[in-house]
Each structure stands twice: as C-alpha cells, then as structure tokens.
Structure 1
Amino acid sequence: METNNQKNLNPMKITYFDDSSKMSAFASLMVLNELRKKQYLLIAAATGGSPEGLYQMLEKRYQFDPELFEKLRVLKLDEWGGIPMSDPGSCHSYLNEKVLKPLHVSSDRYLAFDSAAPDPAEECRRIQEEIDHTGPIDCCILGLGKNGHIGFNEPASILQSDCHVAKLSAETIDHPLVQAMSQTPSFGMTVGMKGIMQSKKILLLITGSGKQEAIKKLMEKEISTQLPASFLWLHGDVECLIDKTSC
C-alpha cells in the first residue's frame, strides 16, 4: 500500500519495451521532438550501454536532416578522473565517437569535464558556472547504475547538489568499461543532483543486465540518498523507458 508521501510524488511516466531497440527508437522520437521545439537545445549526455541505441538513432536522423542539429549543444554528464581524455574508455572518447562526430557538434557547442585537469575540484566549479550561465539543461539523458546511481552521484549518506569530484563505488569501478581501461580511474567528476533536477525534461533509459534490484527499489517510490535515482520521483517531467529484458 502506498503511503501518503508516495501518493503525492510526481507521476514519473514509465514505459516498458520488449527490447532495447524499441526503447531507443521511442527515446529518439522524444529527443527529436524537443529539438524541433528548440534548436539551441542543451542536452546532458550520459555514456554507457543504455543510451547507445538512442545516439545511433539520432545519427541516422542526421543523415536526412542535418540542419536540425546545427545548433544542438551537448553537456558531458560525467567523466572518469585521472585518465587521459584520449583513453578509449573515457566518457569523452565515447561521446566523440557516438554523438559529437556523428552529429557534427562543434567544440563551441560542447561543454565537458577535462579528465586530466590539474585541479579536479576547480574543473567542477568551472562546469557548474557554465551550467549556471547557459542552463538549465533542456533534456537530461540518464542511465541507471546497478547500485542506483545517476551520473556519478553514488549512494551515500548525503548527495551533493553541484558539479563535484565523486568517490567511485566498488560497483562502479567493477564496470566492464573500467576493467577495459589502460588504468583504473581514481575518482569521477559529475553534474550534481541540482543540475539534474533542474533539467526541464529527463529521459531515464534502463537496459542491461544486473539492474533488477535497482529497478525494483526505484519502483517502490521510496526517496533515499542510498538510491540517487529515486529523487527523480520529485521531478515534474521524467520519462522512464525500460527494456523488459533488464527486469
């Protein structure tokens, strides 16, 4: 039975799909719809397996309608710290391959943490100032970590509001992407909960194995810092798209 607090939560729109390709196709239609309404759209782009199909769909659309993407702006949601930007496992390399090059996003329309910044905390302050100046984020594309993290906002006793240097959890470091890197990242840099929650629209894409428990906890609608994704229930416009094979 739902508690009164749970009943008062915003109605996150949850849609299930038979597979990730159908989920990605639906997500791409939503992003394209936002882009048609605002060509200067600022998207916060997550990396990983969950949004990859979406980015592939956007690339296909670009082939037919490149003008639609001429003013698109991209914010890198997070980055592994202490590794070269050129590392194939970096978030920059991922976005460069799957978003920036395919959609011809120029450097002046790309806002990103520098993984090798000499002062990571100052780098996070720089990105936060840019978001405060040019934001808020129009469309925030998120995946769901196996431990319920969004970006590198990891489960903890408190969550940080601004861009910050993040201590990576054991579950995050154990990710196959990390294991394939030339060196293990020592920390993360990420958009904080404020930047995510102030986004005008949020797409939470869930696919991949090992996420059953995180999905189950998310659907319980209990808001907890131990499950950062649960705070999305407090946002007014969240589309949660779930590949049934991940449940």
Structure 2
Amino acid sequence: MKLIRVRDYEDMSRKVANIIGAHIILKPTTVLGLATGTTPIGTYQRLIKGYEDGDLDFSQVRSYNLDEYRGLTHEDPQSYHYFMNDQLFNHVNIDPSNVHVPDGANPDADAACSEYDRMVEEAGYCDLQLLGIGRNGHIGFNEPDEVFSKGTHCVDLTQSTIEANARLFEREEDVPRQAYTMGTQTIMNARLIVMAVTGENKAQALHDMCYGPVTPQCPASILQLHPNVIVVADEAALSLCK
C-alpha cells in the first residue's frame, strides 16, 4: 500500500485525476470503477478539464459504479446514476452504453445484484477502482459486519452513514435506508485501487484501514491484502498515521 501525502482537497483531487487520466491515456479501453459522494467531485472536475483540453478521450472507457440507493430510479436527482451524469458523464465523450450503475429501481434485490455481478465479471473486473472511505471504515456501502462481503448485495445502511449522507438530501428522513453495493471481493478484483481521503473526521478510519487488524468490522482493512493500492490523503486525514 502506497501513501501519498497531499496538502489539501485540491491537491488530492489533482493527483487522483492525474492517476486516472494516465491510466486512460495508457489504456484507452480502461474499465473504471467509480465512486460517488463529495470526495471525488474535484477529481471529476479535473477529468472533465482534461477532456476539454483534448488530453483525455473517454470514448472507449467503460465504467462500473460501486453502489446505488435501493428504490431510486436512474432519473431521480438523488440517485447515484443521476449524480454521475451530472458530475462527469454528461461532460465527457463516454458512450452512455458503457456506463453502468446498479439498478436501484429493481425491487428484486437478488436479481439486481446478480445481474450487476454478471456485467462486472464480463468486463473482466476493473482496471482501476476509485474509492473513498466512510467514518466507520466502509468502502462502497459495505458496512462493518461479521464477515467480508463477496458479490453485489443489498445492505442496510448504518445510522452514521445515513447521517453522513443526509447533507445531500432535504431531510434526513429522505435518505434511503438500503442500497445495492459491490462486495469487497469484487472490489479486490480490481487491478489497481486508488483511495481518496481528506479531513480529520476520516483519520481514525484511515489509520484502522492501514495499520489495524484485517477485520470486517473495518471493511476497508481488507485493502491491506491487495497488491496494488494507492492512498492519496491530506494532512488531516493522515494525522493518526505516523
């Protein structure tokens, strides 16, 4: 696991975008695993700038998002599919047929999850998987549990995750209580994992991920077993990592 220490959010966004951009340049058919939330927004803005400047071509890129709220359609402004279109896909030349997000509108959890697993497997899994980390150590929506998850599955969101995501909704009551998420085994099948972390509120989770025991109580700790992980984090997030 390689730790890259950066000054602040802007510095983190620039470096993560550079890593992703270099991957696309070297392999135009790159399969990207992408994340949502506020952390990657700056990265996506820089990727858009790279496309507008003529440095990046997304025409052959395929993307597979980590997760989606259960019960939301792709058109719902609070869905992660809508978020990705708004923050990245609508601004670059990616083929819409190459964009994949779990089908949160499908009420049949088993069907929705098995179909997503099939698609990710057929793509050969991700060349590069972008991750954030939750305050409780979750990756994707893989919450602390008794075992590490395998494939895509339906999860009950913890209260801390609901509270963290409430800032994106009008009221906390509007935050969905369940989501479909890639499992940790699927994430671990990515050939390169890049984690972006900023803020003192993530410091304990980042420390536990890097230096704590490998335990499903901190889902991100499984990344200690992956051969190719880059963590790009600011001083505040790394404050407990000496």
Q: TM-score, normalised by structure 2?
A: 0.92
- Indicate the residue corresponding to 2:185 in structure 1: 194
C-alpha spacing 1:69/1:84, structure 2 compared with 1 (3 Å): closer
Deviations 1:160-189 (A, max 9, x none): 110111121111111244661573313110
Match of 2:11 among 4, 14, 22: 22
Shift of 1:16: 1.1
- Indicate the residue corresponding to 2:101 in structure 1: 112
Match of 1:220 among 211, 218, 226: 211
Cα distance in structure 1, aligned partners of 2:72 and 2:125 = 28
Shift of 1:56: 0.7
Cα distance in structure 2, aligned partners of 1:181 and 1:198 = 36
Match of 1:31 among 11, 14, 20: 20
Letter of the 2:180 partner, please give it: M
Work out whether 1:44 is the aligned partner of 2:39. no
- Indicate the residue corresponding to 1:71 in structure 2: 60
Cα distance in structure 2, aligned partners of 1:14 and 1:232 = 13
Match of 2:133 among 138, 141, 144: 144
CA contact (8 A) 2:66 2:140 kept: yes
Deviations 1:103-137 (A, max 9, x none): 23222111111221131221110000111111211
Cα distance in structure 2, aligned partners of 1:176 and 1:83 = 15
Unaligned runs of 5+ residues in structure 2 are: none
Shift of 1:98: 1.0
C-alpha spacing 1:128/1:181, structure 2 compared with 1 (3 Å): farther
- Indicate the residue corresponding to 1:245 in structure 2: 236
Q: What is the 5 A alignment of 1:113-192?
A: 113-177=102-166, 180=169, 183-192=174-183
Shift of 1:219: 3.1
**Matched residue pairs, number?**
236
RMSD: 1.7
Unaligned runs of 5+ residues in structure 1 are: 1-11
Letter of the 1:54 partner, please give it: T
CA contact (8 A) 2:17 2:47 kept: yes
Letter of the 2:71 partner, please give it: G
Cα distance in structure 2, aligned partners of 1:105 and 1:223 = 37
Shift of 1:85: 2.9
Cα distance in structure 1, aligned partners of 2:81 and 2:6 = 29
C-alpha spacing 1:230/1:67, structure 2 compared with 1 (3 Å): closer
CA contact (8 A) 2:70 2:180 kept: yes
SS at match of 1:174: helix
